[in-house]
Structure 1
Amino acid sequence: MIWSSASAGPTNTLLPAGGCTLLPRATMYAPRMLAAVAQESQQRCRFCTRARAPRSQSAGWREVRRSISSNASPAWHHTRSISTSHLPRAPLAPAEIAPSKRVIFSGIQPTGVPQLGNYLGALQNWVKLQDSQRAQDEMYLSIVGLHALTVPQKAAQLRQEKWDMLAAILAIGIHPDKTVVFFQEDMPQHLELAWILACCTSMGKLNRMTTWKGKLAALQSASESGEATITSSEASSLNLGLFSYPVLQAADILLYKATHVPVGEDQVQHLELARDLAETFNRHHATGQRYFAPPAHLITPTKRVLSLRDATQKMSKSSTDINSRILLTDEPEAIRKKLKGAVTDSERRISFDPEARRGVSNLLRICAALDESRDAHGWAELVNERGGGSGMLKSVTGDVVLAKLEGVQKEIKRIKGDKAYLEKVARDGAARARERAERTMREVREMVGF
């Protein structure tokens, strides 16, 4: 599972040294751009006795203006290291003003070689994010083995699959000189911060996480219907790790002071929890200052790839049907065989209609995602020009998939054969991540009293 921050408007403000901060409420709780107003005359804050210097003399002052009606109350909101978490916030949204430094963090579970859905849904975007970085930006990618333990694992298999995932990440274009790549379990700071954040997290918040509620609902439904009995393995799946893993997820993000987090739609709620915990920590331990900036969802184009055997479900390695997914390392014959068995329909003319023709549209979406020379409608027209029908669609899709994966497969094979290189990447990545993580934890320990 991939849980895979544009920054929303601040909710707690770190004040400039020696001064107050004057912000309109609209700026604090909704990401809107307001015109800056240069105030050259002396102004006095009504909440303190300090006279504010002219803008030209104090870069710490930020003054903004918004239009208000003649009968509206003043919109200016003065803050001085005060908490604002009790006030309404705007929904999670990408920033309209990028911070001067962007820190990206994302993670992926060690499930071995990724399948096509992982590649198009997240990995491909990671490469684009990496290649669009500026000199001052940072990017961290973690293979999150601790999260994998929320379900039963076989030690030997987990050990192999984490190395397979690392090889695949490098093969698709992630470069260790540009991106810090590391194994989560090599970084004890993740667990240390997770415990501190857990002590700031209410049970109610975790009970409202949709992944936990969904698991409970599924087991309860099976029990009440009488059609299935909850097995011991299913009951044991409701463990503390599964219940609290959103807190560890928040620690993963905040440990590196991430400002941008690319996450899937099913993980946005968990990112909201990370934002809440950042504010809670600031309020409880940082005297209201903005030590942890609430990270925000990084909007990137994602391609939702559906199962080849059931077009109502996402392509996933958790499916028991191996023909439902295409692995990045599948042989050409296996890929064509899986596509040949993909669910489509009997209509001769091919068209892109995600609602009425899910299976057909899934294959067209795969073609458009792997080869951007045409959109999904363009690929439908190409298939029709070649005679149309599901058989031709599957043949064309096979050509596109094989052409795209050929280079990736060669790189995966080459990198997997160089274990010394893989170990060096993991070791160097852990050293770089540890330096940043330990810097954060030294400050956190001081703030909590350790």
Structure 2
Amino acid sequence: MTNHTPRVFSGVKPSGGLQLGNYLGAIKRFVDMQGQDYEAIFCVVDLHAITVWQDPKELKDATREVTAGYLASGIDPAQSVLFNQSQVPAHAELAWLFNCVARVGWMNRMTQFKDKAGKNAEKVSLGLYAYPALMAADILLYHATHVPVGEDQKQHVELTRDIAAKFNHDYGAEGFFPLPEPIIEGPATRVMNLRDGSKKMSKSGESDMERINMTDDADTIAKKFKKARTDPEPLPDTLEGLKGRPEARNLVDIYAGLSETTPEAVITEFAGAGWGTFKPALADLAVAKLGPISEEMARLMNDKAEIDRVLAQGAERAEAIAQPILDQTYDIMGFLRSRRG
């Protein structure tokens, strides 16, 4: 087995604006992993965004907004590679090669496609169906060994491992592609809707009150948490007592995620407290943590040239890692590369 450099890859899709779920479930975790024992590569996955139609001007703005969110949250482009996916063509190239390695039966088992396509599966784009192969390409293009993801993406990392294993086996290239490990950890890797604890917090929800946007100012953040749906019961003295109380559990998880503690510790601190005590405390915590990020995002969004400069430098660094791996892949598969540089 080839010894691969420990390397992290993950990305956030630029569609519809960043919200608290993106921060706690992804970006904050990326910041925490930065500077640890592996190389870190973080991406704005704009090719994934177009699996559903995007307004071209809004796609540019959304790509910059996600980048601003990364930077405002603490991603350091000197420590981590930060770029937008479409600027490294090798992503799309390797995705096609993997379309020819992955099996239709594997894609048919992807539960997220069924959830997103719903009853209109015949009318959605081929990209929405095939995008797990692009996600596998994103990861394996850098020989990434670890992928921080939410629970809902774990199946796609497992598919990535299947594609890597099949490629290595079919082409007699044992160990060429690593079998990456999903990293699913933390109290709020799946943040739920503030008005309905059975639904994931989403950028596309009907009401703005059901989510915390990373661009919300302090007053808006406080107001949304104070108006979040709860039940009449006070907080219990054990986590077990939150069973069957999805809205209550969600707010406890969010508090734990923002305060970098555990849901158990939050319950211990607030056991027996009513929502009149807990919600203002959560609002104050959220304002303290998220307020400076939204302010810095606003500053960055007024300096688009700086954002573009960061992305351009990151794309060059990403391509320097990706291109040799793509070239080796072409060689392994037997392509005649007459224009070899």
Q: Same fold (TM over 0.5)?
A: yes
Aligned pair partner of 1:107 in 11, 30, 33: 11
Kindly indicate whether the alpha-carbon contact (under 8 Å) linking 2:9 and 2:42 is maintained by their aligned counterparts in 1: yes
Kindly indicate whether the alpha-carbon contact (under 8 Å) linking 2:215 and 2:294 is maintained by their aligned counterparts in 1: yes
Q: Give, in angstroms, the shift of residue 379 of structure 1.
A: 4.0
TM-score, structure 1 as length reference:
0.69
User: Structure 2: how far apart are the matches of 1:402 and 1:371?
Assistant: 12
Q: Give, in angstroms, the shift of residue 339 of structure 1.
A: 2.0
**2:338 aligned residue:** none
1:372–1:438: structure 2 CA closer, same or farther, 3 Å change rule?
A: closer
Instruction: Identify which of structures 1 and 2 has the higher relative contact order when contacts are C-alpha pairs closer than 8 Å and 6+ apart.
Output: 2
**1:400 aligned residue:** 285
Kindly indicate whether the alpha-carbon contact (under 8 Å) linking 2:146 and 2:183 is maintained by their aligned counterparts in 1: yes
Could you give the per-residue CA deviations for residues 300-326 of structure 1, whole angstroms, max 9, x where no partner exists?
324132211001112111211111001
Equivalent residues in 2 for 1:333-352 (5 A)?
Answer: 333-347=219-233, 349-351=234-236
1:314–1:213: structure 2 CA closer, same or farther, 3 Å change rule?
A: closer
Aligned residues: 329
**Runs of at least 4 residues of structure 1 off by over 6 A?**
none
User: Structure 1: how far apart are the matches of 2:250 and 2:307?
Assistant: 34
User: Structure 2: how far apart are the matches of 1:267 and 1:372?
Assistant: 23
Q: Aligned residues: percent identity? A: 40
User: Structure 1: how far apart are the matches of 2:260 and 2:183?
Assistant: 22
Aligned pair partner of 1:125 in 29, 53, 70: 29
Equivalent residues in 2 for 1:5-404 (5 A)?
Answer: 13=1, 101-111=5-15, 113-131=17-35, 133-134=36-37, 137-215=38-116, 218-219=118-119, 235-237=122-124, 239-285=125-171, 287-303=172-188, 304-347=190-233, 349-351=234-236, 353-372=241-260, 375-381=265-271, 388-404=273-289
Kindly indicate whether the alpha-carbon contact (under 8 Å) linking 2:4 and 2:143 is maintained by their aligned counterparts in 1: no
Give the aligned residue type for 2:250. Answer: N
**2:308 aligned residue:** 423
User: Structure 2: how far apart are the matches of 1:192 and 1:302?
Assistant: 36
Question: Which of these two proteins has the greater Rg computed from alpha carbons?
Answer: 1
Q: Give, in angstroms, the shift of residue 358 of structure 1.
A: 2.4
1:300–1:361: structure 2 CA closer, same or farther, 3 Å change rule?
A: closer
Q: Is there any run of 5+ residues in structure 1 with no aligned partner, and where?
A: 1-12, 15-98, 220-229
User: Structure 2: how far apart are the matches of 1:296 and 1:140?
Assistant: 15
User: Structure 2: how far apart are the matches of 1:284 and 1:358?
Assistant: 46
1:288–1:369: structure 2 CA closer, same or farther, 3 Å change rule?
A: closer
User: Structure 2: how far apart are the matches of 1:182 and 1:372?
Assistant: 27
Kindly indicate whether the alpha-carbon contact (under 8 Å) linking 2:6 and 2:39 is maintained by their aligned counterparts in 1: yes
User: Structure 2: how far apart are the matches of 1:357 and 1:405?
Assistant: 26
Q: What is the Cα-based RMSD across aligned positions, in Å?
A: 2.0
Kindly indicate whether the alpha-carbon contact (under 8 Å) linking 1:113 and 1:168 is maintained by their aligned counterparts in 2: no
User: Structure 1: how far apart are the matches of 2:97 and 2:260?
Assistant: 45
Give the aligned residue type for 2:148. Answer: P
Q: Is there any run of 5+ residues in structure 2 with no aligned partner, and where?
A: 336-341
Q: Give, in angstroms, the shift of residue 113 of structure 1.
A: 4.0
Q: Give, in angstroms, the shift of residue 283 of structure 1.
A: 2.1
Aligned pair partner of 1:439 in 324, 330, 334: 324
1:203–1:356: structure 2 CA closer, same or farther, 3 Å change rule?
A: closer
Q: Give, in angstroms, the shift of residue 214 of structure 1.
A: 3.5
Give the aligned residue type for 2:95. Answer: A
Could you give the per-residue CA deviations for residues 340-395 of structure 1, whole angstroms, max 9, x where no partner exists?
32111223x333533233222322222222124682213424xx5xxx43233222
Could you give the per-residue CA deviations for residues 128-184 of structure 1, whole angstroms, max 9, x where no partner exists?
1113x23xx311111111111111211111111110110010000000011101100
Select the structure that is richer in helix. Answer: 2
TM-score, structure 2 as length reference:
0.90
Could you give the per-residue CA deviations for residues 33-57 of structure 1, whole angstroms, max 9, x where no partner exists?
xxxxxxxxxxxxxxxxxxxxxxxxx
Kindly indicate whether the alpha-carbon contact (under 8 Å) linking 1:167 and 1:415 is maintained by their aligned counterparts in 2: yes
Q: Give, in angstroms, the shift of residue 284 of structure 1.
A: 2.5
Kindly indicate whether the alpha-carbon contact (under 8 Å) linking 1:142 and 1:184 is maintained by their aligned counterparts in 2: yes
Equivalent position SS for 1:236: coil
User: Structure 2: how far apart are the matches of 1:389 and 1:341?
Assistant: 14
